[in-house]
A and B are shown apart, each in its own frame.
Chain A
Amino acid sequence: MSFLRSPRHAIRRTAIRVLFRAFPREASALALLAALTGALPAVFAALVGRLVGEVPVAATAGAGHQSAQPLVGTLIAMAVVLVCLELAAGAQELISTDLYRRFDGYLLGRVMATALRREDLQLADDPELAAMVDRALRAARYGPGELVSGLSSQWTARAQGLAAAVLVGYYRPVAAIALTLVWLAVARALQTSYYEASPFWSDPLRRAAYLQDIGLRPHWAKELRIFGLVGWLAREYSREWTEVMTWLWRARRIGRIRMTILAALLLAVHVIVLALLARSAAAGALHAAALAVIVQGLFGMAMIASQNGDPWIENGSVPVPDVLALEQVVQPGRSGGASAAGLPRESIGFCGVGFSYPAGNEAVLAGLDLSIQAGTSLAIVGLNGAGKTTLVKLLAGLCEPTAGSIMIDGTPLTSLDRLSWWRQLAVVFQDFVRYELPLSDNIGFGSVERAWDDQAIRNVAAMAGAADLVASLPAGPGTTLSPRFEGGVDLSGGQWQRIAFARALLAVRGGARVLVMDEPTAHLDVRAEAELYERFIELTAGLTTIVISHRFSTVRRADRIIVLEHGRITEDGSHEQLVAAGGQYARLFQLQASSYHGGTGE
């Protein structure tokens, strides 16, 4: 498994570089404080050595004031060091918390910015890019800020270990160097075995995690229970998990031998060092004070190998390369420069338009010729998969046709400025977004460039048939439309549909001239649908309207209807014309009509 041998150090270095580049002041302050909290214990140890040296002197001199003076000074210095250590540790923690949160928001913000950078749908439609986005998104699950907590405690430990080495080295430089090397080897071994032992960030466990996740998803709870799937999920989860882990457990055993050897080496070096120290002390060549300092240094040097904070560093840095890789790949799309303000005045034209998805083998649209006169309404009918939704995406410039071109008043869509063209469009997608935000945002997002007051929001809501809904909301338009938030409410599918419609109507008020509705009544109940169409003409007056629907109640009101089949237009005309023509449209209409007006409906 390759994930065990990935170059983790490079990953960490990258992550730390990103951290320092984004927050140079905060990160440096944290490093300095960590060094301080790491060094102070060594200062304290040196003071203990001084105390050990001074006590016998003062004791033999009797209670003489003069000889006790340096001893009092040492004691005061010790107190100062203890207090400083506490203060530094407190400051370090505070800065660490602050930077943790900053880095978290910063890195996730970068992922978000990248995911939104591409203006077309390349990120969503290209499976390879989509997978990269998914990888980068996982940053949120790890919590990038953990890098900061990890570094904070690791820097402190390293500083502590090195300061201790300095204490030893002051008296016995050779021993200090030898021991530092051994501890570094131990550190390496511990780190390696830790890596080998931690599968939490690895891909293979994703399947297992998915199985567990399914079992906890509130929205799927109904089916899980009805089909009795929990036992199966739990078993599958354990099976997938055990498969990966068995492999890992085997890999971990390798580390044990290495550690045993290192522990023996550690023992041997210490025995030699301490035996030599004891000998020179016995010979009177080493004072008790120096010995006390050295021994404390020996204890402290163990911190060189400390893995404190390592898991956090790992968690925090693992997603960073994925984030950077995505940024490298995702470049903003091209956009024309011509303003689309006021368009279309005459027509929207599809000229020989063809489209197929990069991965798909079949063309979704082929040789489509269609001219939509500005200010009229057009309905598109067709079976699922006939290319209706693709047509909308093409019109919005969210994908580019693989053949032919789209002309707005004779100007190619590609030469129009994207943002200004989008301002001309008001689209209700079939899978419209349910923003878990206040109602005012849900509707206001229809025309985000302007600030809309509550009255404007209420007005369009009323036009969309949601006046009662707004009136019933506890905090009016400020009410969050999600039960997950404080004071938020849950809406039904039909209520959401009205909100989506209101959003499009606001876009129209904001200046949009083309209204596109993809199955706008799928979630509406009978009465609401009927009400909506009563006012269809009124609502769409002056607009170029395109409606995609399965419902003939919706379709028949349009000025013109086209039937799409296999990416081509097969029928074109008004409701009456098409029914009279006796084609596919007429057949579908009869089918529906007979189920209402026929005898038994079969």
Chain B
Amino acid sequence: MSDTTQAQSGAGQAWPPAPAASARAARRMLGFAWAADRRLAAAAFVLVAVQALASSLLGLWLKLLVDSITSGRAGAGALEAGLAIAVSIAAQAAAESADSQVRITLLDRTKHLLDRRLLELVGGTPTLVIQETPRHLRQLELLQAESWEFGAAVPAVLNSATTLVRILITLILLASVSPLLLALPVFGLPIVILSRYTAGLFSTGSELAAEPSRRAEMLYYLAASRPAAKELRLLRLPVELQRRFAAEHDEIRRIHVRLNARGIMVRLAGRMLFLIGYFGAIVLVTHQALAGTASIGDVAMTAVLAGQVLTLVTGSAEEAQTLLRTLTAAARYLYLEQVTKPSAAQPSGGAAVPLRLTDGIRLEGVSYTYPGRAAPTLQDVTVRLPAGTTVALVGDNGAGKTTLVKLLAGLCTPDCGRILVDGTDLARLDVADWRLRLSAGFQDHARFEFSLQRALGLGHLPDLDDADAARTALERAGAADLPAALPAGLATQLGPAWPGGTDLSGGQWQKLAIGRAMMRADPLLLLLDEPTAAIDAQSEHELFTRWTRAARRLRERSGAITVLVSHRFSTVRMADVILVLQDGRICEQGSHDELTAAGGLYAELFELQARAYR
């Protein structure tokens, strides 16, 4: 389309094109306003029209007033014209105030709707396509940073509409004086053409400043980060961090000022051309008045309209900037919508998730490469996870363990090959249903700052506020003592930033995350990705014993599979099946005894760790 050419430069042939302001974005924003509150949206447009009319017609009333006095008819019609002026001024003020109220409410509602849609869009995408594609993630970050602009898209569109109506009325009035004055739009043409260039400058500016802005922001939050506080001080970094922050901001300022200056120059050139036209108009009408073909009122009106158009042009430049900025933000939203469509539109549903596993989960020739990376993280993995077993994944950092976990959870889809759950392709299962039978604990777990009860309950929403379920889950996670360690037990608000909130230690957060993973009483697949790195030996041991017990119970009931990623071989050896990954491939598999007997990589790694305990 028309807007792709300039904004995309440098982005190569990437799809979809980098977001840029477009008519489509404007239409979608208005659609949102309409969906948010039809009555208010309609009212906003009516008020826009009233304001535009009231302000544009002032020129006409002035003409009538001046004409009535200078015509020599001794002020006939002067009173009427005066009253019209009074009404126009008051109506404009009233409409403006009503408009600001309507608009703010509309803005609130629209912003809320947009935020909610964005949340549902980003959060509702079943895979991690946005989070794991740097290009997409960048758009999301930019959109979040511009959330204010995103919300302001609707008012910006309204403002531009007002300006448009005013320009239209002004042109009609001018035409009534002399059709020649209709040539004026030709003089305005350069402004319109050049505005595309200045808009390009604006997006170039934010693109150029994006990197230093992100760095400045990173430094800013680093300086105030509570976990980092001790290290920053010990390392004597405060002065250095501030120096760098100031340097980044200087860079940001220079970029903006440089591009802004260029934009102003270009726009100034455009406007000067327009002013020539307008000045010509005044001269023309004055000339006509001298020749007697135009009234003195016409001269006054043309000049006033000139003054008004002057403010219109001055104002519209700013409006256009705001509009472009907001529409660029809106276009980012459309971009995200576009890139999530394929993943959201996956043929999901068809097949039902089995009540219990009988065969297990099979991977057939599964490969996966992260977006934007050259080397595959998993390559041609074919393996069976038998129903009712505990499967441990071991291997060096970067061997592909976590990726395998993500694939099993349906968070990524294999580039080739398939994953079969009791013979049914995972891609054909209903994602939501599959997730209901899935639970997981991660090393990089979320730290939900709700009450302890809710932070646990989120692991199984039907039991969100069920204290018994929460306690049972903590019990399973070997963390039954966690509530007692907190000031208000399960009701304790987590997170020191909230009123009365308590911070947890790293180990406590981790136990909480494991507890959350234990909220689902009956999962088919439990994924535990290094969830115990921050937990001491004794707790860890207790935990694993419990898990083994719980896994056995689940196995009998539903053929459930537990997948465990760990570096601790004392745990790993308890697993029924151990898969050893190396460079994205499975290089060994079997039980602990089989693998140690085989004398391969597993045996070597086990021996390395076991040595410490002789």
Contacts and interface: CB of A to CB of B under 8 A. Distances in A.
A492 B530 CA distance: 13
Interface in B89-135: 89-90, 92-94, 96-98, 100-101, 104-105, 108, 112, 115-116, 118-120, 122-124, 126, 128, 130-131, 134
B468 interface: no
Given A93-B260, A425-B234, A445-B235, A274 B246 contact: no
B507 A230 contact: no
A7 interface: no
A432 B219 contact: no
Interface in B447-472: 448-449, 458-461, 464
A310 B432 CA distance: 46
B13 interface: no
A429 B233 contact: no
A219 B448 CA distance: 12
A277 B223 CA distance: 65
Interface string A100-130: 1110110011011101110111011001001
Interface string A184-211: 0010011001100111100000000010
A271 B89 CA distance: 10
Interface string B516-551: 100000000001000001111111110001001000
Contacts, number: 487
Pick from B92, B307, B439 the residue with the most CB of A within 10 Å: B307
Given A238-B116, A519-B534, A252 B101 contact: yes
B351 interface: no
Given A266-B89, A419-B236, A422-B236, A52 B66 contact: yes
A535 B601 CA distance: 22
Interface string B48-79: 00000000001001100110011000110011
B346 interface: no
A396 interface: yes
A270 B260 CA distance: 42
Nearest to A152: B318
Contact of B574 (A101, A277, A601): A601
Interface in A239-292: 241, 245, 248-249, 252, 255-256, 259-260, 262-264, 266-267, 270-271, 273-275, 277-279, 281-283, 288, 291-292
Pick from B230, B232, B432, B541 the residue with the most CB of A within 10 Å: B230
A288 B264 CA distance: 38
B82 A277 contact: yes
Given A223-B440, A592-B570, A553 B220 contact: no
A228 B307 contact: no
B438 interface: yes
Pick from B82, B122, B228, B311 the residue with the most CB of A within 10 Å: B82
Contacts of B134: 483-484
Contacts of A529: 567, 608-609
Interface string A476-513: 00000011111000001111000000010001000000
Interface in B287-306: 289-290, 292, 296, 299-300, 303-304, 306
Given A58-B290, A137-B224, A596-B570, A274 B82 contact: yes
A55 B299 contact: yes
A579 B40 CA distance: 77
Given A108-B220, A228-B435, A275 B541 contact: no
Given A123-B229, A383-B538, A525-B396, A530 B115 contact: no
Interface stretch (A77-85, A170-178, A539-547): A77-85
Interface string B562-591: 000001011101100000000000000000
Given A116-B242, A130-B496, A588 B79 contact: no
B257 A214 contact: no
A403 interface: no
Contacts of B236: 419, 422-423, 448-449
B553 interface: no
Contact of B448 (A68, A97, A214, A429): A214
A153 B318 contact: yes
A85 B611 CA distance: 83
B4 interface: no
B229 A112 contact: no
Which applies to chain A's interface (DSSP): helix, strand, loop or mixed?
A: helix
Interface string B213-237: 0111111111111111111111111
Contacts of B211: 485-486
Contacts of B90: 263-264, 266-267, 270
A446 interface: yes
Contacts of A249: 105
B183 interface: no
B409 A225 contact: yes
Contacts of B282: 51, 75, 78
Interface stretch (A10-18, A293-301, A341-349, A455-463): A293-301
Contact of A210 (B223, B314, B449, B506): B449
A315 B240 CA distance: 30
A1 interface: no
A573 to B, nearest CB: 18
Contacts of B1: none
A230 B122 CA distance: 9
A103 to B, nearest CB: 10
B65 A295 contact: yes
Nearest to B123: A230
Contact of A228 (B148, B446, B461, B536): B461
Contact-residue size bin, chain B (C-beta under 8 Å from the other chain): 35 or more
Nearest to B321: A93
A384 B253 contact: no
A550 B246 contact: no
Interface in B319-337: none
Nearest to A523: B533
B69 A431 contact: no
A111 B410 CA distance: 43
B612 A553 contact: yes
Given A116-B223, A282-B74, A237 B119 contact: yes
A410 interface: no
Contacts of B225: 433
A86 B446 contact: no
A87 B268 contact: yes
B365 to A, nearest CB: 25
B383 interface: no
Contacts of A486: 211
B243 to A, nearest CB: 10
B488 interface: no
A422 B395 CA distance: 38
A3 B322 CA distance: 29
A591 B508 CA distance: 22
B264 A94 contact: yes
A71 interface: yes
Interface in B269-285: 271-272, 275, 278-279, 282-283
B268 A90 contact: yes
Contacts of B214: 484-485
A383 B268 CA distance: 71
A119 B233 contact: yes
A435 interface: yes
Contact of B105 (A197, A275, A600): A197
Interface in B494-525: 496-497, 501, 505-508, 516
- What are the 9 A-B residue pairs with the smallest beta carbon separation, nearest first? A282-B75, A105-B249, A553-B612, A101-B253, A274-B82, A230-B123, A595-B570, A270-B86, A593-B613
27 contacts: A55-B290, A90-B267, A108-B249, A109-B246, A119-B233, A121-B230, A197-B100, A218-B131, A219-B444, A220-B446, A225-B123, A226-B438, A226-B440, A232-B461, A263-B90, A281-B78, A288-B70, A298-B85, A302-B92, A385-B505, A385-B507, A494-B397, A507-B235, A522-B533, A591-B537, A591-B538, A596-B570
Given A190-B97, A503-B235, 11 more contacts: A44-B307, A52-B303, A82-B306, A108-B220, A116-B232, A130-B226, A216-B118, A223-B442, A271-B86, A398-B230, A525-B395
